[in-house]
Amino acid sequence: MVIQRKPTLTPAEAQDAFIQGAPDGWPGRHAAAGTYDKGIAKGHKRQITLTIAPELLRGVDEAARRTGQARAAIINMAIFRALEGDLFRQ
């Protein structure tokens, strides 16, 4: 068995290879499959990072505790209602 060296990549090739290896790093990668590329795929959903004011987070956590729902469920429902309602209609 012969041990071979890895091929040497140019800095641009190394950068592209690094980005391609990220779960959400290559725009258009899933476009042919008809999926949405933002966030990280988690089953039928996409994981994102959200920055939220402490007062809002406290309210979300209180609503989750009061209703027995998960924090993510409360946030998803609020976003759904905001988008389906007239909050963002033009």
In the prediction, which pLDDT does 50 show?
A: 92
Domain boundaries, given as residue ranges, for the chain:
41-90
Global confidence as pTM: 0.57
* C-alpha–C-alpha distance, residues 27 and 79, integer Å: 25
Give the model confidence (pLDDT) of 64-79 as tens digits: 999 999 999 999 999 9
pLDDT in tens, 5-50: 777 878 888 777 777 766 555 555 544 455 677 888 888 888 999 9
CATH topology of domain 41-90: Arc Repressor Mutant (1.10.1220)
SS3 of 85, please? coil
- Cα–Cα distance measured from residue 37 to residue 31, given in angstroms and rounded to the nearest whole number: 8
What is the C-alpha to C-alpha distance for residues 52 and 60, in angstroms, rounded to an integer?
10
